[in-house]
Amino acid sequence: MNRRKFIQNTALTGAGIATGVSAISCKEANTTSTKASNTATTLSKPNYISISTWDTESANTASGELLAKGKPALDAIIDGVAVEEANEENTTVGIGATPDREGNVTLDACVMSPDGDYGAVVAVENIVHVAALARKVMEDTPHVIMASKGAEEFAYTQGFKKQKLLTPASEKAWKEWLKTSNYQPAINVENHDTIGMLAMDTSGEIAGVCTTSGLGYKMKGRVGDSPIIGSGLFVDNEVGAAVATGMGEEVLKTVGSFLVVELMRNGMSPQKACEEAIHRIVKKGDRYKDFQVAYIAMNKNGETGSYAIHDGFTMMKYQDGKSENIKSDYFNKS
């Protein structure tokens, strides 16, 4: 099953669930998710590890193989996500991504380094490798976030190539969408997914990255959680890291990735911390039935966790030469 199909199926499941009986309580969800937490957690510290959102195997394996060669975590993840940014068939990042409702493909990305530095770009057009560009902002400017035309112009000064991101396939899909222009972000689970990747290298240093085109057919100028520090991504090399995917507006309102890292700092496992961050969203009311949010996290021991609101979210893990796709536990089991 390809990723698009997979996510569509998730949407259907979510829609079915929305008409069902009321959601189980947070307490029950905690109990039921413990088994999955064990499957998503490694007990002995790995030599290196890379994890990423969804079934992004080629990107995560690329990162893992670089880590195996002793590359720093930051290099490994930027090169890892570049694989999917360059993949025209992936409609959610880089070239070939789904445009906004006016037909512009605009990309968001951010990175955090083991020393706590951060760089991001938002609403960038014509540049494929926006994660690498976010790193340039972090390392070669006095700023941390650059937007739109300014970010694009900066990219050219750094040697990035101008490339049209709207491919014939993404243009065709957009024109098809225009016929109804039916935009319902609350239930369009299939219209969003992001590559978030976290890695720990052989020196035990942790870095993270997030790259996305955001919500498909979003309003022009809309920015999601992915490029925003603490929401889409947070890394604290003393504690661990977390990255989010799904309905960015909800992640932003709960500063989700920062929350996950702080919960780990206070002693929670990555799994429990992801669960608690999801609970902060679902306890606001029943609206969660209409959208997906998921977190993945790792701590300094290389233990990992993942949790989502709805069924259908998976995490890739590459550890000590082995790649695994881990099905995430989820909240809405009603």
Would you name the residues annotated as active-site residues?
A: 194
Does position 246 bind ligand ASP by CB under 6 A? yes
- Binding mask of the shown chain, residues 145 to 184, with x at each position contacting ligand ASP by CB under 6 A: ----------------------------------------
Bridge partners of 329, per DSSP, are: 307
| Binds ligand ASP by CB under 6 A, chosen from 64, 80, 224, 302 | 224
Name the residue nearer to ligand ASP (CB basis): 96 or 224. 224
Q: Is 193 in the site for ligand ASP (CB under 6 A)?
A: yes
Please state the closest distance from residue 196 (CB atom) to ligand ASP, in A.
Answer: 8
Instruction: Please state the closest distance from residue 172 (CB atom) to ligand ASP, in A.
Output: 21
| E strand or H helix that includes residue 78 | helix 73-85
Q: Which amino acid is at 250?
A: E
- CA-CA distance, 197 to 52, in Å (whole number)? 4
- Please state, in angstroms and rounded to a whole number, the distance separating the CA atoms of residues 159 and 203: 30
What is the Cα–Cα distance from 80 to 220, expressed in whole angstroms? 28
SS3 content of the chain, % helix, strand, coil (to 5): 35, 20, 40
How many residues would you count in the chain?
334
Nearer to ligand ASP, 212 or 332 (CB): 212
Q: Does 52 bind ligand ASP (CB under 6 A)?
A: no
Give the nearer residue to ligand ASP in terms of CB position, either 84 or 205. 84
Q: Which is nearer to ligand ASP, 67 or 83 (CB)?
A: 83
Three-class DSSP labels, 152-179: HHHHHHCCCCCCCCCCHHHHHHHHHHHC
Among 79, 225, 275, 311, binds ligand ASP (CB under 6 A): 225
Footprint of ligand ASP on this chain (CB under 6 A)?
192-194, 212, 214-215, 224-226, 245-246, 248
